[in-house]
Amino acid sequence: MRDGKPALEGTSVAIVESWARLREASFTEDLGFTAREAALCVETLTGLAREELRRFGARVPAKVDAETTRRLAREGIDRANELMSLLREAILLRLLAAGSQSGDGADTGDAG
């Protein structure tokens, strides 16, 4: 809250800035890029995050102290983000090279 109004902070600011950079790169509504893209990411990543937390929680806390658990969680987030970014890029490039536009040939539901 800032001056009694909701304010963006931290990661939320970075998300808005990243969305703005996509717009600047011409990923605009005129080309069909809407907030639905962000919603798809949130939906997909929420499931992945839940599974990551489930696996982490089932493995780590019982084997190390609380401080180590917190450190591993923070380091895991940073390193997994890097890994996922690289994996996503490799998958996209592989799919593009194979001539796929939607990843599996299925209709994405977007017109055009």
pLDDT band at 65 (very low <50, low <70, confident <90, very high): very high
**What is the distance between the alpha carbons of residues 70 and 60, in angstroms, rounded to a whole number?**
10
Question: Where do the domains of the chain lie?
Answer: 10-59, 64-100
Q: Residues 19, 41: contact at Cβ < 8 Å?
A: no
Q: Residues 2, 10: contact at Cβ < 8 Å?
A: no
pLDDT band at 97 (very low <50, low <70, confident <90, very high): very high
pLDDT by residue (tens digit) across 17-36? 999 999 999 999 999 999 89
pLDDT band at 5 (very low <50, low <70, confident <90, very high): confident
